[in-house]
Amino acid sequence: MDRNFRINSMKNLLYLLMGLFATTGFAQKTAEIITKVWENEAMTSMVKPAPLPFYSDYDVVFCHLNLHLERNTVYIEGNVLTKAISRKQGLPVYTCELIPGLVVDSVVYNGISAVYDHTGDTLTVTLSPAPDLGQFFSVTVFYHGLPPTGGFFTGINSLVSTVWGNEVTWTLSQPFNAKQWWPCKQDLADKIDSVYFFITTDSSNKAGSNGVLTAVTPVPGGKLRYEWKTRHPIDYYLISAAVADYQDYSIYAHLPGATDSLLVQNYIYDTPGCLAFYKADLDRTCQFLELFSQLFGPYPFAGEKYGHCQVQLGGGMEHQTMGTLGAFNFDLNCHELSHQWFGDYVTCATWSDIWVNEGFATYAQYLTMQYMIGQAEADTFIMNVQQYVMTQPGGSVYIPPGQAGNEGRIFDGRLSYNKGAAILHTLRGELNDDTLFFNLLKTYIQLYGDSLATGSDFINLAESVGGLNLDDFSDQWYVGEGYPIVDILWSQQADTLVMTLSQTSSSIITPLFRMDLEVRLLSLQGDTIVRFVFDNNVQQVKIPVSKTIINLQVDPNHWLIMQVSSINHIEEPGLPDNILFYPNPFISDIRYLINDIRPGQPFLTIMDITGREILTTTLNNSTGTIGLSMLSAGVYLVQITYGQRSVTRKMVKN
């Protein structure tokens, strides 16, 4: 899923405007990199109750949704047949979720009228006779009603396009709102083996859904029934419908290794100029499909189709085989398409693991730019992603179970999307072998296809494929919080480059990041990239060199979420230039690092901005901490005296 977001700070106003433009089709690529949240701030406080006890009572094997929908209302009526297998001996009741705003007219169990109770969001059906363990049974619920609407996460919406003027009705169930439009079991662990979705609507409409359109059947009253069928396992929230006055713009992709072309079926508003406006972006879908088939493995639903339904939505949703999008552009299209592998074919096992859906799809945007546009564009993308992650000091990609019912936390654009993509890029750098990295992605898809996976499943597989111990990677980047802030002092002594590195963290949750660090040594005789393990808060590295180094570039391939606070060249070792104070700004304490202490230890003086002396102390060790918690926030001067020289530096206390 990709969505626009509301921002409270003027600092990010540009990102907001770019996200809003996505609904009109005028967004630039950058808009979809950085922003992924929602339209209604109140939604961030909505929390799903604990898993319902009936989830373990039965497995769903088939659903047939037979519903009436129109393009100008959310009123819904019809019936849903569910076939299931009992997971207990003598299962007394069938229970599913359905909001009270939808009225149940009757329920049929195994072809016989059944007794039921609809209280709150729970529909309970008495099963008599009770099915035995492992026995198949069926329940059909007949219902109607006008469910609530409004807001990104509402289960069903009906609006008028602000750009094209079309009326459109569509569903969006992720994560907890399928129950707002059909009686269902909202359990990620129970993928439905196959689904039929028959949508009856006015003959002026077209109705899009999952799988293959097997028939369009006239029915009384000037209606048509669109009969969609999918025979691939599908999670409850990926079942969808969209109804509007559409035109069908179908094209075909020729995928590597496939004998048949893949249908790419697009339901676009049947309004003059609409298809022409989006045609180039829609046509590019075939190129995306070809690229992803090479990078991730064969398209998972090749026996059916891929496609899009256009709706009045600020972003998009990766409904299986037919995404629901508000507009069409490079970033949004490739993001939602990549979900067919990462999210639909392999689905997050819990909402705590949404990274394996959204982080991977966001990284697919990077890969698409890298392979189809160029490395410079991809570099800009990943740097923007990393900078957005660092707009706040903490936050983990993994969502603690206690927060996994909060829609705002699940779809946190900074963490689930952007940091998720950024740490996947970090892992690629850690493996340091693209053949291994893409083999990992393909193996992951093969192992967990048509099923579920956790973030830990993926990391454990990466350990196996890459032959690495990724405990630190998981603890720091996935479960941990924050990012490293790095300062470097360097000097060249004949044929040796000496770097003294210091590392602090933006978050106390993860005080140290152990990582492979690349540094480009810039020289008029040609640049060299060196790679070493950076695994201490203060660390000295000596590197043999045969050229005169003029400067350093840290992490030139942008593998890491990292802030480089300073790079200082020491031209005369032993003088004040080789003393480093960090972090800057600081909160309570500052640390110092002296590359080379000689006789006559330096001492420092802390002054306020007027020059009034606050503290004087001697620096006897090469590293240490100076407690300055008593200072008020503001700008201070640090004067360092070493022999006959004195250097003053400005530092900021937050």
Residues 146 and 197 in one domain: yes
Tokens of 546: 């045969």
pLDDT class for 43, splitting at 50, 70, 90? Answer: very low
Q: Which residues contact 2 (CB under 8 A, 6 or more apart)?
A: 32, 36, 315, 316, 317, 332, 335, 336, 361
583 upstream amide cis, omega within 30 of 0: yes
Domain that holds residue 629: 581-654
**pLDDT, mean of residues 58-78:** 98
pLDDT class for 598, splitting at 50, 70, 90? Answer: low
Environment class of residue 162 by beta-carbon count within 10 Å: exposed (0-12), middle (13-18) or buried (19+)? exposed
Task: Indicate whether 19 pLDDT > 60.
Answer: no
Q: Is 370 part of a structural domain of the chain?
A: yes
If we measure between CA atoms, which residue out of 192, 189, 225 comes closest to residue 209? 225
Maximum pairwise Cα distance, the chain: 99
Q: 296-321 as b/e, with b when 16 or more CB fall inside 10 Å?
A: bbbbbbbebbbbbbbbbbbbbbbbbb
| Model confidence pLDDT, tens digit, residues 236-293 | 999 999 999 999 999 999 998 888 999 999 999 999 999 999 999 999 999 999 999 9
Structurally, the chain folds into a number of domains equal to 4
SS3 89: coil
Q: What is the pLDDT of residue 51?
A: 63
Task: Indicate whether 26 pLDDT > 60.
Answer: no
Q: What is the pLDDT of residue 611?
A: 79
Task: Indicate whether 38 pLDDT > 90.
Answer: no
| Model confidence pLDDT, tens digit, residues 325-357 | 999 999 999 999 999 999 999 999 999 999 999
Q: What is the CATH number of the domain that holds 543?
A: 2.60.40.1840
| Model confidence pLDDT, tens digit, residues 177-221 | 999 999 999 999 999 999 999 999 999 999 999 999 999 999 999
- Alpha carbon distance 476, 409 (integer Å): 19
Q: What is the pLDDT of residue 152?
A: 74
DSSP label at residue 218: E
Residues 264 and 162 in one domain: no
Q: Quote the percentage of the chain above a pLDDT of 70.
A: 89
Task: Indicate whether 543 pLDDT > 90.
Answer: yes
Q: Is 188 part of a structural domain of the chain?
A: yes
Q: What is the pLDDT of residue 640?
A: 77
Q: What is the pLDDT of residue 137?
A: 98
Strand order in the sheet with 241-244: 156-160, 167-171, 241-244, 206-209
Q: What is the pLDDT of residue 536?
A: 92
Residues 71 and 38 in one domain: no
The number of CA neighbours under 13 Å toward the Cβ of 430 is 26
| Model confidence pLDDT, tens digit, residues 119-170 | 999 999 999 999 999 999 999 999 999 999 887 779 999 999 999 999 999 9
Which of 419, 450, 481 is the endpoint of a domain? 481
Q: What is the pLDDT of residue 430?
A: 95
Task: Indicate whether 580 pLDDT > 80.
Answer: no
CB 8, CB 385: distance < 8 Å: no
Task: Indicate whether 394 pLDDT > 60.
Answer: yes
Task: Indicate whether 16 pLDDT > 80.
Answer: no
Q: What is the CATH number of the domain that holds 425?
A: 1.10.390.10
Q: Is 38 part of a structural domain of the chain?
A: yes
Residues 231 and 267 in one domain: no
Residues 474 and 486 in one domain: no
Four-CA torsion 120, 123, 128, 131, nearest 10 degrees: -130
- Alpha carbon distance 378, 533 (integer Å): 26
Residues 551 and 430 in one domain: no
For the ranges 54-58, 192-196, 586-590, which has the lowest average pLDDT?
Answer: 586-590
Q: Which residues are bridge partners to 142 per DSSP?
A: 79, 106
Task: Indicate whether 45 pLDDT > 60.
Answer: no
| Model confidence pLDDT, tens digit, residues 438-453 | 999 999 999 999 999 9
Q: Which residue has the higher pLDDT, 544 or 598?
A: 544
pLDDT class for 512, splitting at 50, 70, 90? Answer: very high
**pLDDT, mean of residues 294-314:** 96
Q: Is 369 part of a structural domain of the chain?
A: yes
Q: Is 650 part of a structural domain of the chain?
A: yes
Q: What is the CATH number of the domain that holds 116?
A: 2.60.40.1730
pLDDT class for 41, splitting at 50, 70, 90? Answer: very low
Q: Which residue has the higher pLDDT, 117 or 54?
A: 117
Q: What is the pLDDT of residue 643?
A: 66
Residues 167 and 219 in one domain: yes
Q: Which residue has the higher pLDDT, 126 or 632?
A: 126
Residues 72 and 6 in one domain: no
Residues 103 and 229 in one domain: yes
Q: Which residues contact 53 (CB under 8 A, 6 or more apart)?
A: none
Residues 477 and 487 in one domain: no
Residues 542 and 595 in one domain: no
DSSP label at residue 130: P
Q: Is 574 part of a structural domain of the chain?
A: no
Q: What is the CATH number of the domain that holds 598?
A: 2.60.40.1930
Q: Which amino acid is at 239?
A: I
Task: Indicate whether 596 pLDDT > 70.
Answer: no
Which of 208, 225, 244 is the endpoint of a domain? 244
Q: Is 307 part of a structural domain of the chain?
A: yes
Which of 446, 481, 516 is the endpoint of a domain? 481
φ/ψ of residue 320, rounded to 5: -60, 125
Q: Is 576 part of a structural domain of the chain?
A: no
Across all residues in the chain, what is the average pLDDT? Answer: 89
Q: What is the pLDDT of residue 559?
A: 98
Residues 210 and 140 in one domain: yes
